[in-house]
Amino acid sequence: MTDHGDDELSSRTGSPDEEGRVPEERSLLHQSLAVRELIDTEVSYLHVLQLCASDIRSHLQQLPQGDLDVLFSNIDDIIKVNSKLLHDLQETAAREEEQVQLIGNLFLEFQEELEQVYKVYCASYEQALLLVEAYRMEPRLQREIQDTIEAVLPQAGSSGLSFLLVIPLQRITKYPLLLQKILENTLPDASAYPVLQRATSALQDVVTNINEYKRRKEVASKYTKVEHLSLRERLARISMHTLSKKTTRLGQLLKQEAGLVPKTEDKEFDDLEESFHWVSLCVTELKNNVAAYLDNLEAFLRFRPQEYDLDIPGGPVVQYCYLARDLQLQAFPEFKQRLEALVWQPLCSLAKALAGPQNLIKKRLDKLLDFERVEEKLLEVGSMTYEEEAARHMYEALNSLLVAELPQFKQLAMRWLGQILCTFVTLQRDLAKQVLQRAEGSLAQLPHHHISDPAFRKLVEDALGQTSHQLHAFQENFEKVLPPPTTQPLLPGAEHQVQALLSRYGPGKLYQVTSNISGSGTLDLTLPRGHVVALLQDKDTKGNSSRWLVDTGGHRGYVPAGKLELYHVVPREEELRGQARPHRDSQRQTPEPTLASVPSVLAVTQVVAVYPFVARSSHEVSLQAGQQVTVLEAQDKKGNPEWSLVEVNGQRGYVPSSFLARAPGPALWGWSLPS
């Protein structure tokens, strides 16, 4: 390339014996030659760059765009900067006396830009080379590339792409050398000297910085890559080497903790680490809390009270349904979506960014432990192996990297956090605004919209109190719907039998037959309606639970369960009490007929004579069928229940109990269920 050729310039040097003026003249001559070299090389450099960027790159279109980006990196930016530089350099030629000074100033001006633009290019150069190597593996592709290059830049020869891509690197490192050459040929007392000196060292710094930047990037990328290794890969990674590294580190750490070895305290770093840790904590907590908030929001949106139909055609109920639907379909989903995009996503990205520094901090500690051991060894042995040197360098590299960048990280993260929080607040305000806008319409149509809130609250309280009373009234009314009349009258003469069953089995086991039962099988009973029996088993031998085994007091057998109803024997007090009290307890599922016809208890019992009866003595009284009589006592003087003392037509006397039938008396009506 053209760059090589011009290096032969400064071979002529004057001999030290010559007179003073000659070196000076020679210096000036060399100086102007050096200046010209600078400018000429810049021209050809720029020319090559442009050829690369436009002609060569455009002919390599068969390569994917991603590859081209890697290969040529930010060459366009470089061209921009260098074009400007060249232009300004060429302008300095007009001002001959001050040219050198102007050049110095120019480079000082461009220092920053050059560093920015070249460091990017240099950092990605390694990757570009890898890519070039990959292409070399494919003969057809390689040939195409070669042809393209040769067509555009015959001087490139067979070296190909790598030759071209290294040119910017060479150039940036050349600047300090070129400037140095000018400086060497400048008189120390010349006005240009200090400027030039500064410019030279500035460009030297640029090169140093670029190298440092490149090294940091390499170190960082080695450790920050979140690697997804398979188990096999992980196992393959574990070698004796790594194992021994880990154990020595652990040993070192233990020694530190045990105080056997002084910990390298680095307050500055510890503060940075602590600070970073808090930022980390802040971000993680915030992310979790926002996640919880979003979950709750989602849960809230699942419930839709407005979807239930109370069959109310208008008024606030309908207003509410419209409003709630509106909010649920529009306002809230919008809020949620904005939250996710503008708060949740950034938090996730921010949280992910924490991983890199966290890893590096950990690695630094590991390397520090290695380093300390090395130092110990150095004290003992006096030297260290290459590996141990490498450990020290690695630690120092990581340390300086972190010290330089952690504060920046914190600052950037905090700034972003602040923005995210502000966004959160703004979104809440926007949601409120949305809701209010949509509610405006409904609000105006409410019947009491003109009333202030405290007054309205009172109004609602009163209204609800009133309607509550109304509801109570309804409830009472429904409860007053009377229980069915007592199931059926007790057969005459049955009380004795009932008492017997009662005493033998207890009250819970007594059932009354609700309608006539005619038994079919040998074990089935035939019972008239009203008969009371005691339950022995609520299923038959085959497990059929609709067939119950009962005891009539005389016989045992099966009856259909559906024809039985629980029979209650209720003492007198409760009966009378139950008459007056309205039902309060709405929880009872079954109305229990509390009346048990215990005729001996009820003094006032209307009965009907079923059969006619002719009195045969003065103790007895005659009956006509269907006649209403009043039972005074259901047994005779000797306690025999077969006779009852009745009053009929003003006359009193005994009649056979079996001739009487209980009929429900009016005293039963008007009962409510007992509480």
Identify which of residues 308 and 386 has a Cβ nearer to other proteins in the complex.
308
- Tell me if 552 sits within 8 A of 527, measured CB to CB: yes
Does residue 562 bind other proteins (CB under 8 A)? yes
CB of 63 to other proteins, least distance (A): 22
Q: How many CA atoms lie within 13 A of 167 on its CB side?
A: 28
DSSP 329-387: IIIHHHHHHHHIIIIIHHHHHHHHHTHHHHHHHHHHHHHHHHHHHHHHHHHHHS---HH
**Which residues within the stretch 598-637 sit at the binding site for other proteins (CB under 8 A)?**
608, 610-612, 625-626
- How far is Cα 121 from Cα 125, in angstroms, rounded to an integer? 6
Number of residues lying near other proteins (CB under 8 A): 128
Chain positions 444 to 473 lying near other proteins, rule: CB under 8 A, are: 446-448, 453, 456-457, 459-461, 463-464, 467-468, 470-471
CA distance 606 to 665: 6
For residue 216, the minimal CB distance to other proteins (Å) is 5
Q: Which residues pair with 527 in a beta bridge?
A: 517
Query: In the chain, how long is the greatest CA-to-CA distance?
Result: 183
Q: Give whichever of 143 and 225 is closer to other proteins, judged by the CB atom.
A: 225
Distance CA 657, CA 489 (A): 14
**Between residues 146 and 306, which has the closer beta carbon with respect to other proteins?**
306
For residues 475 and 584, what is the distance between their CA atoms, to the nearest angstrom? 9
SS3 state of residue 546 = coil
Q: Which stretch binds other proteins (CB under 8 A): 101-109, 196-204, 224-232, 246-254?
A: 224-232
Q: How far apart are CA 61 and CA 64, in angstroms?
A: 7
Nearer to other proteins, 432 or 500 (CB): 432
Which residues lie below 8 Å from residue 215, measured CB to CB, with a gap of 6+?
A: 397
107 or 118: whose CB is closer to other proteins? Answer: 118
Residue type, position 337, single letter: Q
The minimum distance between CB 410 and other proteins, in angstroms, equals 9
Q: What x-and-dash track marks residues 489-528 binding other proteins by CB under 8 A? A: x-------------------------x-------------
Q: Residue 478 CB, nearest distance to other proteins (Å)?
A: 4
- For the segment 247-266, give every residue that binds other proteins (CB under 8 A): none
CB nearer to other proteins: give 243 or 292.
Answer: 292
How far is it, in rounded angstroms, from Cα 370 to Cα 389? 10
605 — phi, psi (to 5°)? -130, 120
Of residues 360 through 399, those in contact with other proteins by CB under 8 A are 360
Q: Does 66 bind other proteins (CB under 8 A)?
A: no
Between 485 and 571, name the residue whose CB sits nearer to other proteins. 485
Tell me which amino acid residue 373 is: R
Query: Are residues 545 and 538 in contact, defined by beta-carbon separation less than 8 angstroms?
Result: yes
List 662's β-bridge partners, or say none: 607
At closest approach, how far in Å is the CB of 624 from other proteins? 10
Is 58 a binder of other proteins (CB under 8 A)? no
How many CA atoms are closer than 13 Å to the CA of 330, on its beta-carbon side?
A: 14
Residue with tokens 């490139």: 156
Closest CB to other proteins among 202 and 609? 609
Considering the complex, state which of residue 29 and residue 312 has its C-beta at the smaller distance from other proteins.
312
Decide if 567 contacts 596 (C-beta within 8 A).
Answer: yes
With respect to other proteins, which residue has the nearer C-beta, 419 or 541? 419
The residue among 271, 264, 85, 116 whose CA lies nearest residue 179 is: 85
390-449: which residues touch other proteins (CB under 8 A)? 401-402, 405-406, 408-409, 412-416, 418-419, 421-426, 428-429, 431-433, 435-436, 439, 442-443, 446-448
State which of residues 155, 191, 400, 586 lies at the interface with other proteins (CB under 8 A): 586
C-beta of 214 vs 245, nearer to other proteins: 214
CB proximity list for 171: less than 8 A, separation 6 or greater: 3, 45
Site for other proteins in 307-346 (CB under 8 A): 308-312, 315-317, 319-320, 323, 338, 341-342, 345-346
Asked if residue 163 binds other proteins (CB under 8 A), the reply is no
Q: Least Å distance between CB 636 and other proteins? A: 24
